[in-house]
Amino acid sequence: MKPAGFAYHDPQTVAEAVALLGRLENARLLAGGQSLMPMLAMRVAFPDHLIDLNRVEGLDGITMDQGVLRVGAMTRQRSIERSATIREACPLMTEALTHVGHLQTRNRGTIGGSLCHLDPSAELVTVAAALDATIEVAGPEGQRDVAIADFPLGFMTPALAPEEMVVAIRIPLWPREHGYSFMEFARRHGDYAIVSAATLLVLDSAGRIARASLTLGGVGAAPLRVTTAETALVGEAPTPALFRAAAACCEGIEAMEDPQAPAWYRRRLAAVLSRRALERAWARATGEAA
């Protein structure tokens, strides 16, 4: 369980890192290392060059500007989990992080690493999709934005050119009084979810649903926005029957099959978790649940 040999690079700036990516063949970026290091140890990844981002300046930090939250790619999961700013403005992310790995892995793991590793069940990718996040990407030509919906190209494959890297994620914030919930089912605490559901709701002054977001993780290569359910919710008065009907949309989705769970099981989990998450989000939106 030792990595094969590689050449090690530890650039200090994004420009240096991008230049190395452009110059070196078969190079991989090392962020928090909580996925790549096991892949090196098990020799399912064998880069000739490892470009360590841990000494690059300016890649971590949490800032808020005009209703948009910006989190640097190298911000540790643990820093996000403990951020009062994020707990206040984007509590969905705080709740999701309690399901990510363990204390020791969250102390190293980064948000940019989770996004680029792009595991189908990764909580932070599901949350990014639920929040319509934008990914900031740096490359030799400068910087560009990629919408989270366009970010997954396929199974564990982000829409990045070989010489590009993620530098931050931007999240447009929901109104302060929104309801939210992140729920998942995993075999053990800290495992990747078999299925997860992330939801956000906003009620109007009459108590009807003004805006809704429902996203499933773990059902396919990329997070799935259940737009049929979102459409069914908006404009309606929230009731348990409405949530049951909206969650039933999940019974018709295409779901992947793997040794952990067959597709029918994922569909059933998706419907149950969605209904529970919607009910919790509603209770939070009305102030009946913390």
Partner 1 sequence: MSETRCVALTVNGEHREAETPVRQHLADFLRGTLGLTGTHVGCEHGVCGACTVLVDGHAVRACLMLAVQAAGHEVTTVEGLSLADGTLHPLQQAFCDHHGLQCGFCTPGMLITLVEFLAEHPAPSEEEVRVAISGNVCRCTGYDSIVAAALAAARALRGDAA
Tokens of 81: 């989990």
Contact flag: residue 2 with partner 1 (CB under 8 A): yes
Pick from 16, 52, 132, 236: which binds partner 1 (CB under 8 A)?
52
Label the pairing between strands 142-147 and 134-139: antiparallel
Q: How many CA atoms lie within 13 A of 215 on its CB side?
A: 28
Under the binding rule (CB under 8 A), the answer on residue 84 touching partner 1 is: no
Instruction: Give the neighbor-by-neighbor strand order of the sheet with 195-203.
Output: 179-185, 195-203, 209-217, 224-225
Burial 70-91 (b: 16+ CB within 10 A, else e): bbbbbbbbbbbbebeebeebbb
Question: Which residue reads 């991989």 in tokens?
Answer: 28
Check residue 42 for interaction with partner 1 (CB under 8 A). yes
Q: Could you give the C-alpha distances from 216 to 44, 184, 228, 240, in angstroms and in order? A: 28, 9, 13, 20
Q: Which is nearer to partner 1, 105 or 286 (CB)?
A: 105
Binding status of residue 43 toward partner 1 by CB under 8 A: no
Query: Residues 65, 66, 103, 259: which binds partner 1 (CB under 8 A)?
Result: 103
Residues in contact with partner 1, counted by CB under 8 A, come to a total of 30
CA dihedral for 215, 219, 223, 224, sign (positive or negative): negative
Site track 180-219 with partner 1 (rule: CB under 8 A), x = hit = --------xxx-----------------------------
Stretch of 100-108, 148-156, 179-187, 268-276 lying at the interface with partner 1 (CB under 8 A): 100-108
Choose, by CB under 8 A, the member of 41, 153, 237, 289 that binds partner 1: 41
Instruction: Please report whether residue 38 would count as binding partner 1 according to CB under 8 A.
Output: yes
CA-nearest of 104, 290, 58 to 181 is 290
Work out whether 54 is an interface residue with partner 1 (CB under 8 A). yes
Note the residues at the interface with partner 1 (CB under 8 A): 1-8, 10, 33-34, 37-38, 40-42, 50, 52, 54, 78, 101-105, 107-108, 188-190
